Amino acid sequence: MKMKLTRRLLGAWALSLLGLTCAQAQTPAFPSQQIKLIVPYPAGGATDILARMMGQKFSEAWNVPVVVENKPGAGGTIGNNLVARANPDGYTVLVAITAIIQQPPLMNLPYDPLKDFAPITQIAQSPSMFVVPLNSPYQTLKDYIAAVKAQPATFNYGTYGAGTSSHIQGSLLNLQAGLDQVMVPFQGSAPLMNNLLGGQLKSAFVDSASARAHIKSFRALAVTGTQRLPLLPDVPTFKELGFHSFDPYGWFGLMLPAATPAHIVQKFSDEAMKILRMPDVVAKVEGLGLWVGGGKPDEFAQILRNDAAIYAKIIREANIKLNP
């Protein structure tokens, strides 16, 4: 009787093992089909360039097609929402930028950037700098602040538009230094830089990628982030000058829908880390005026939470509105 029971148990175990093996055999290894990288901005910009670079490397490593689809509109929210609502199977990936965590206090969104996405890693980081024209009389941020206070209602600063990083940073400077600079929005970096270099702007907050080509045509008074830029070693950080909340960097990162299986998120992260160490990739990223990113999924998730809290506080305290 005991032997029969043992045989039955062994038979049942063998059948279950066979069933598990068959199920595994029927589930293809990831990836087994085309992957889409969704860029929520037009073609040609830094986000698009980085997406195509990463897509090519993923395709070469995994031997599957990887295509970049540009889904611009509504400040990136159209493309973001497409990925948030996509099938969480790993075949639809978002190439996101900092704006995704700056927008919640400014607009009603159909998704939650901290709950509806699974962060993979940062591709690159982008410090910003506060600059004035090269012929400006102001040599330091202290000089500039003193001039603004001495001449009320006469100073402006250029930005990439309402609610962008440059607007948030300018509002923060106004708030902490007690300034009344007027924000002047532009559609993109090219017109902003043209107006700054042409003398129509007193100052501007510009990202390192946009600034790189013009680095000798203006004077930087301070930089964001936690360390000085190798390109501008003599320019202090805002933190060094006694200001706070200028620490977050702009970033470009990869995200998947929140319910994507953890092993797929990790596979993307592991491969991305290999890609970001390749010499040609490092050269490409740095050639854009950016810093190479990286980091594990949980590290990127922590950055998102920390930066979102900082930006929400600034937006609230500075009373920033998209349509003032």
Comparing C-alpha atoms, which of 94, 89, 88, 87 is closest to residue 70? 94
Q: Report the chain's C-alpha Rg in angstroms.
A: 24
Higher pLDDT, 214 or 273: 273
* pLDDT reported for residue 19: 52
Yes or no: say if 91 and 36 are a contact pair by the CB < 8 Å rule. yes
Q: Is 316 exposed, middle or buried (0-12, 13-18, 19+ CB in 10 A)?
A: exposed
Give the mean pLDDT of the chain.
91
Strand 250-257 to 117-126 pairing: antiparallel
Tell me the two tokens of residue 183.
């924000």
- Domain of 157? 128-223
CATH number at residue 117: 3.40.190.150
pLDDT in tens, 168-177: 999 999 999 9
Alpha carbon distance 252, 265 (integer Å): 17
Question: Within this chain, do residues 118 and 135 fall inside the same structural domain, yes or no?
Answer: no
pLDDT in tens, 252-287: 999 999 999 999 999 999 999 999 999 999 999 999
Residue 231 is assigned to a structural domain of this protein? no
Question: Within this chain, do residues 257 and 214 fall inside the same structural domain, yes or no?
Answer: no
Q: What one-character DSSP code corresponds to residue 286?
A: H
CATH number at residue 175: 3.40.190.10
Question: Within this chain, do residues 188 and 274 fall inside the same structural domain, yes or no?
Answer: no
pLDDT over threshold 70, residue 139: yes
Lowest mean pLDDT among 55-59, 61-65, 280-284, 287-291: 287-291
Global pTM reads: 0.87
Residue 13 is assigned to a structural domain of this protein? no
Number of domains observed in the structure of the chain: 2
Strand 204-207 to 182-185 pairing: unpaired
Tell me the two tokens of residue 258.
């929140």
Alpha carbon distance 306, 246 (integer Å): 13
